[in-house]
């Protein structure tokens, strides 16, 4: 299990439930297995020209539908972090792109409808966060994830299409969902 323990030094687990999660602290331990999401404009997506981040070949293979395995090749892959772009993985030499429909899972970052996954390791989604915010005025999903990471349960490179820890994206989503709930006048 150690191979996938990407965030094992979370120090804030015993902190109050509503304490903010320090993503940098959580990600400080195993950058090889699950690097912090670092969008890079220098390596732009071949389709949308937006930022991307490196992803391992193993992550690409774990996410793709089996019938596409033979077309992966040995190139260095990147994950397109553009929410509107349907490209998920591409090679820097532009020899191969894999689209959202090529994956076994939906990429939450690129979806707008239906069940949108926030955390692939622990199966947490936007609907749960939205309900929690509506009922309590906040979401403790980031703290729940941090506690599970502390227990060595993280498997980001194998489960997250971005190949990196989700906490940064989860925190962004919680902020957005909280603002949307407040704007709609639905908070407690």
The predicted model scores a pTM of: 0.76
Rounded Cα–Cα distance for residues 127 and 48 (Å):
28
Tell me what pLDDT residue 168 has: 87
pLDDT of residue 178 exceeding 60: yes
pLDDT band at residue 186 using 50, 70 and 90 as cut-offs: low
14 C-beta neighbours (distance < 10 Å), count:
9
Distance of CA 16 to the CA centre of its chain: 24
Alpha helices in the chain (DSSP H): 23-26, 57-63, 126-136, 141-150, 156-159, 167-183
75 C-beta neighbours (distance < 10 Å), count:
16
| Span 81-100, pLDDT tens digits | 999 999 999 997 778 999 99
pLDDT of residue 77 exceeding 90: yes
Question: By percentage, how much of the chain surpasses pLDDT 90?
Answer: 54
| Span 17-59, pLDDT tens digits | 444 455 445 444 433 334 445 677 778 998 999 999 999 999 9
Tell me what pLDDT residue 37 has: 56
């Amino acid at each position: 299990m150690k191979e996938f323990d990407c965030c094992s030094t979370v120090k804030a687990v015993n902190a109050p439930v509503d304490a903010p999660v320090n993503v940098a602290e959580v990600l400080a331990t195993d950058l090889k297995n699950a690097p912090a999401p670092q969008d890079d404009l220098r390596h732009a997506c071949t389709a949308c020209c937006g930022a991307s981040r490196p992803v391992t070949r193993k992550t690409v293979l774990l996410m793709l539908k089996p019938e596409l395995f033979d077309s992966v090749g040995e190139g260095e892959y990147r994950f397109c972090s553009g929410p509107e772009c349907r490209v998920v993985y591409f090679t820097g030499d532009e020899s191969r792109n894999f689209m959202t429909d090529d994956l076994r899972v939906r990429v939450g970052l690129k979806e707008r409808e239906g069940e949108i996954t926030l955390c692939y390791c622990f199966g947490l989604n936007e609907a749960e966060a939205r309900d929690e915010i509506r009922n309590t005025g906040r979401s403790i999903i980031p703290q729940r994830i941090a506690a599970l990471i502390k227990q060595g349960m993280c498997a980001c490179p194998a489960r997250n299409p971005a190949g990196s820890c989700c906490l940064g994206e989860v925190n962004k989503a919680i902020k957005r969902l909280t603002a949307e709930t407040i704007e709609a006048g639905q908070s407690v």
